[in-house]
A and B are shown apart, each in its own frame.
Chain A
Amino acid sequence: MFAEKVIELLKEAERNKETIDQFNDEKIRQILEEMHMLFNLNMTDANASSENKSLWTAVQIRHSALERNKRCLLAYLYNRMQKIKTLRWEFGSVLPTDVRELLSDDEYLWFTKYSTNLASYMRSLGQDIGYNGIDLTENLKPPKSLFIEVLCMVDYGKLELEDGDVIMLKKNSRHFLPTSECQTLIRQGILKQIV
């Protein structure tokens, strides 16, 4: 059956809706190959079909298969792009290596472009009134309280707070910190909120 591989590809991506899988280079190559094969068959038959109308249906079916392949491939890429976008909001502009490896080189390029674009938009916010931008990736959740209790997961070292105090973040130490200052560290997995 034509266009079977592309469905496998989509099903695979559909299975893990929340997380991103390894970019399936090999399968995409196979699908592209199938498309070229279909296209070549169609070219020969289309040239012959001016005399022989019976080939016409075959040409049309192959053409639909081609269209379907293209559409599904684009859907696959688009879907992954949406996931990569959420990565930018979760991790910031630098991806952890294990996540980075799941993206293809082109996707990583796209991630960098997206990230730069977002950053330059955020920098432009409030520029007219002397602000140097707002980081929209902070304040993702509505603030509940000014301070939260956090547990440090790794030996991070010194952290300087906005008011100038310096605290030492050691593994398994507990701190009572301003919510606004530990959001990023929590997302990076350095701190963990204790309820």
Chain B
Amino acid sequence: MDLEDDIEFSNDEEEITADTVLKTLQSAWQNERLAPEILPHRNDMVECMLGQIQHMERNINKLPKTDLRASIHKMELSRIKFIICNYLKTRLNKIEKYCIPILNEEKQRIDSGTNYLTPSEYKYAQEYLLNLESHLKTVVLNKVPNNMQTFEMSKMAVYPNLQTHVFLQANETVNGVVLEDIFGDQDEEIDLEEGSQHILQYKPIADLVKNGKVQLI
């Protein structure tokens, strides 16, 4: 179903249809679900879509309750809402699980202005880690012998497994992706053709996922 029937959406800088927003959001969701590590946030798309939902809900409410169009649109809306919720939830789960490495890396990224988390996600992560630490401290760490009371950040950290394999499809042709050979030193170089599908280790193509050159499937 297309959304453009109801709304003509225009942005200040560039024209962008609700359909494109939804597609971008869907692929961001798909990537986030399949990638082992946290990806840069797409808050712009989420907020844009939320605005659309608001708009459409108002339109639907104008229709009589028994109108068939109303229920079809409502169904579509609840699907979109599900995508947004699930997208944000997947991110939260990753933030909780890989809290320590994410916060460490994020501190450097904020300095260079390439933050992956939204400000509220960042706040959430900090608060989460703080609570975790204080809970462990009150229950166990403060009661063990003196020399073992420290909360060892490095030992508690859980890291995402970047060596895992993922399915992917190339959105555009990418030449010279280097696949490292861990055991030997025979690195391999491959080219990804537009539209082709591959199974590869996540790490060498992580940057391609982040800049949208490949799509995880």
Verify if B100 is at the interface (C-beta below 8 Å from A): no
Q: How far is the CB of A165 from chain B (nearest CB, A)?
A: 10
Interface residues in B58-89 by Cβ distance below 8 A to A read 65, 71, 74-75, 78-79, 81-82, 84-86, 88-89
Proximity string of chain A (49-73) to chain B, C-beta cutoff 8 Å, 1 when within and 0 when not: 0000000000000000011011101
Known contacts A131-B50, A134-B84, A138-B85: A81-B140 contact under CB 8 Å:
no
Query: Is A187 part of the binding interface, using a Cβ–Cβ cutoff of 8 Å?
Result: no
- Interchain pairs with CB closer than 8 A, number: 106
For residue B120, give the distance in angstroms from its CB to the closest CB of chain A: 4
Q: Quick one: given A117-B128, A121-B121, are A36 and B145 in contact (CB under 8 Å)? A: yes
Q: Does A35 contact B (CB under 8 A)?
A: yes
- Inter-subunit contact B78/A180 (CB<8 Å): yes
Residues of B within 8 A of A91 (CB): none
Instruction: State whether the Cβ of A30 lies closer than 8 Å to any Cβ in chain B.
Output: no
Q: Which residue of A lies closest to B82 (CB)?
A: A139
- B143: chain A residues at CB < 8 Å are 32
> Is there a chain A Cβ closer than 8 Å to B195's Cβ?
no
Chain A interface mostly: helix
A142 shortest CB reach to chain B, Å: 6
Q: Considering the complex, give the chain A residue whose CB is closest to the CB of B124.
A: A121
How far apart are the CA atoms of A128 and B131 in the complex, in Å?
Answer: 27
Q: Is A74 touching B140 in the complex (CB atoms < 8 A)? A: yes
Instruction: Tell me the nearest residue of chain B to A66, going by C-beta.
Output: B148
Q: Indicate the size class of the contact surface on chain A.
A: 35 or more
Specify which chain B residues have a CB less than 8 angstroms from the CB of A129 in the assembled complex.
47, 50-51, 54
> Is the CB–CB distance between B131 and A117 below 8 Å?
yes
Q: How far is the CA of A120 from the CA of B123 in the complex (A)?
A: 10
- Shortest CB distance B114–A (Å): 21
Contact B128 A81 (CB under 8 A): no
Contact B79 A143 (CB under 8 A): yes
Return the contact of A77 from the options B75, B120, B135 (Cβ within 8 A).
B135
Residues of A within 8 A of B136 (CB): 74, 77-78
Closest-by-CB residue of A relative to B70 is A146
* Chain A neighbourhood of B89, CB < 8 A: 136
Q: Is the CB of A110 within 8 A of B135?
A: yes
Whether the pair B71, A139 counts as a contact (CB closer than 8 A) is no
The reply on B46 being an interface residue by CB < 8 A is yes
**A144–B46 CA distance with the chains assembled, in angstroms:** 22
Residues from 156 to 190 in A contacting B, C-beta threshold 8 Å: 163, 179-180
Interface residue? A114 (CB, 8 A): yes
Residues of A within 8 A of B50 (CB): 125-126, 129, 131, 134
Cβ-based interface call for A124 (8 A): yes
Given contacts A125-B46, A139-B81, 6 further A-B contacts (CB under 8 A): A28-B139, A39-B147, A106-B135, A120-B124, A126-B47, A136-B89
Bound-state Cα–Cα, A3 to B156, Å: 20
B82 in contact with A142 (CB, 8 Å)? yes
- Whether B78 lies near A70 (C-beta < 8 A) is no
Contact with A along B130-152 (1 / 0, CB 8 A): 01100110111001111110000
Q: Indicate the member of A32, A36, A136 with the most B CB atoms within 10 Å.
A: A136
Instruction: With A35-B144, A117-B128 as known contacts, state yes or no: A125 contacts B86, CB within 8 Å.
Output: no
User: With a CB–CB cut-off of 8 A, which chain B residues contact A22?
Assistant: none
In this complex, what residue of B is CB-closest to A110? Answer: B135
- Closest Cβ neighbor of B89 among chain A residues: A136
Q: Mark B107-130, 1 if CB is under 8 A from A, else 0.
A: 000000000000011011001100
Q: A109 CB to closest chain B CB, in angstroms?
A: 8
Q: Is A143 a contact partner of B145 (Cβ separation < 8 A)?
A: no
